[in-house]
Each structure stands twice: as structure tokens, then as C-alpha cells.
Amino acid sequence: MLISQLKIFGFRNIETASITTDKRVNVFYGKNGSGKTSILESLFFLSRAKSFRTSKKGELLKDGCSLLAVSADLEQQSKTHKLGIGLEGNGTSKLKLDGEVVTKLSQASILFPTQLITPESFDVFWSSPKARRSFFDFGLFHVEHEFQNDWIAYNKTLKQTNALLRRGGVNQRELLFWYRGLVDLAQKIDDFRELFLDKHFSKAISGLALELESNERTDLLKNLVIRYKKKALEQEVSDEMLLKQIDKDIRYKQVGFGPNRADYLFLKDGEDMSSRLSRGQAKMLFYLLVVAMVNIIKQTTKKNILLLVDDLPSEVDQQTRQTMLEMLLHSQAQIFVTGIENNIAREFMNYTDSVNVFHVEHGTVRQESMEQICP
């Protein structure tokens, strides 16, 4: 298991919690507003140093607290680590790995790969190119080590170039220098993304469809083609072409091309299927994509992975719900899942006996006996 122990202090409405999470599935149930989602949020914050619910870090601190802290004992590739993050009321945060202060988030994130599914994930993923790019870039970060360096370099160059465009009055020949660098880095990132689809993701989707061919809900994967849609200049671009692009971008005061504008298309029989999916199909396909991504990282890097599932869908029919449970367990990840009722634990027990269940009430977390829930 990736996480065996989780400690939380001053996070949202959780004053303090020390939780043993040494099972494959860890279920947190309770009424809305009880604090169960905050547990998942604290783990996401530990992994990414940001929240999936707010951009204002100050909102994460419990009322009356000037400090929050989250720490976890984790195992990665047969080694144990202690990862912790603290946030002060003034917005200052500090990340520690095995007692040492970490200055680069990537040093910790590489040990703590975390995927998230929330009720909002489905809508955001299918409506936002940025969300789709982030989803696939998460896999690239863990599988292709050079991708991160090129991505950091590209964004640094893009930021400097946009600053020059906004400043105005800049010499076009000076901009030409920056644009040459942008084109080169953009091509590297586009190549990484296309390679990831061809080498990893397309194969994972096909393999998943074969493994689960007895389940009719996985028909969504059959003949599914994911295509990377570039927003790039030609590969062999001349200075004359770049100067034309610069002239255009000066008017709009920002760079008008690049991997930060790209998208992913989901095609079936040559047609974009995303606009034709029902809400239930969109959720199911998103689950399948997440499972494929988790399995790629697991099989390629041999890392333990954490999958956070907030509010396992209760409005779907029973067959769809059971399929979702099967998908989650097929992911090879450690799973933290929330719901209103403890029957989620019973449902998981139909597939595995490695289940912990916790009742969350008014920010207090209490472990319950599986024998009582599943007599």
C-alpha cells in the first residue's frame, strides 16, 4: 500500500486526526459537511501543494488555527518515507520529505502519484481542454522524465515572451530570438504527448477493453481513438513565418500558438464522440480513462499509486455502480473513497477483504469494525 498512516491537523473542520490506512480500500462515510471530502483534499494537498476545491489556501485552515499540517507514512518501490506539508496563516508553506525540507515540489510528487475523481471531474474533463491536457501530462510527468524539464523551460520562455508582447514597443528581432526557442520547446512537448498516446495510452485502452470484454459497459473503449490536436506552427518554420506570427501576436499581446493551447479528441468511427456521450457514459468513460492512466504508471514505473474518489456516484443504476467498483479495483491503486452510507464498504467487500471503513462526523474520524458492517 502507498499510505499506511495519515495524520491531519487544523485542516478545514478537522482539528486533529491520526488514521491507519493500511488496506487496499479506505472508505470514509458520513453526512454532507462532516469532513470526509476534507480528508481526500488533505491528501491531494500533500501530493500537489494545492487544493482541488479552492485556489485560496487560507480557506484550508480550520477556524481559529494559524497552522495546518498533513503528513503520511508511505511506501514506494520497497522504501518507506515520511512526507509532510505545513501551511501557515500568512500563506507560507513548507514541504518535508524524511525530515528534510524540500524546495522543489516535484521531488515529493514523484514519490506520491495521486489521481482524483470527483463529481465535478467528469464535467470539467469533457468541457475543458486544459483539464484534458493536465490529465495526460500527469502521466507524462511520471513516465517520461525529460518531459518535466522541457515543460518548465517552455513555460518560462512563454512567460518572458508574453511579458515582452504586453510591454509593447519591443524590437521584432529581439522577439524573434524568443520565438525560435518557443518553437523548439513546443515541438519537443508535442512529440512527448504524441509518443505517450502511441506508446502507452492507446495500448492501455486496447488492453483494458480486452480484459473487460465481458462487461458491456466497456463498449465505450472499443474502436476508441484518442488524437492529439496541436496548436503549433509548422515544424520547419522560417524566420519570415515567425515574423508574421510575431506581428499578429503583438496585436493580441500574447503568443498565439503552443502546447498550452492544444487539445485531445476522442474519436469513434472517425467522429468526435465526446459531444454524443450521455452523462452516464461520460462518467463511465472517465473512470476507464483514469484506470488506464493508473495502470500505465504502475506498470511502467512500478510505483504505488493513490486514487481519491469523492462521492462514489449514487444516482447511477446498480449495474453501472458495480462496474465502477470493478474499474476502481482493476486500477491496481490504493483507493480512498467517500460516500454518505457505509454500504460502500460492503460493496467493496464483494471483491476484496482489504477494506478499512471510517465514520466521519463533525470533523472527527473514527474507525469502525468491518465485522460489524459485514457480519
* 157 annotated as belonging to a binding site for a ligand: no
**Contacts for 170 with CB less than 8 Å, ≥ 6 apart:** 164
Phi, psi of 353 (to 5 degrees): -100, 5
> Half-sphere exposure (CA, 13 Å, Cβ side) for 271?
5
Between CA 88 and CA 370 the distance in angstroms is 37
What residues are paired with 228 via a beta bridge? 264
Between CA 108 and CA 96 the distance in angstroms is 8
* 36 annotated as belonging to a binding site for a ligand: yes
Cell reading at 319: 449495474
129-143 and 145-167 helices cross at what angle (nearest 10)?
A: 140
* 114 annotated as belonging to a binding site for a ligand: no
* 139 annotated as belonging to a binding site for a ligand: no
Between CA 59 and CA 334 the distance in angstroms is 28
- Grid coordinates 495500448 are at which residue? 203
Cell reading at 314: 449514487
* 34 annotated as belonging to a binding site for a ligand: yes
Residue 374 in contact with residue 343, Cβ under 8 Å?
A: no
Q: Distance of CA 289 to CAs 139, 253, 296, 297, 328, Å?
A: 11, 36, 11, 13, 11
Between CA 44 and CA 112 the distance in angstroms is 10
- Grid coordinates 514506494 are at which residue? 76
* 169 annotated as belonging to a binding site for a ligand: no
* 18 annotated as belonging to a binding site for a ligand: no
Between CA 176 and CA 211 the distance in angstroms is 51
Three-state helix/strand/coil letters over 211-253: HCCCCHHHHHHCCEEEEEECCCCCCCCCHHHHHHHHHHHHHHC
* 130 annotated as belonging to a binding site for a ligand: no
- Binding-site residues sit at 30-37
- Binding-site residues for ATP sit at 30-37
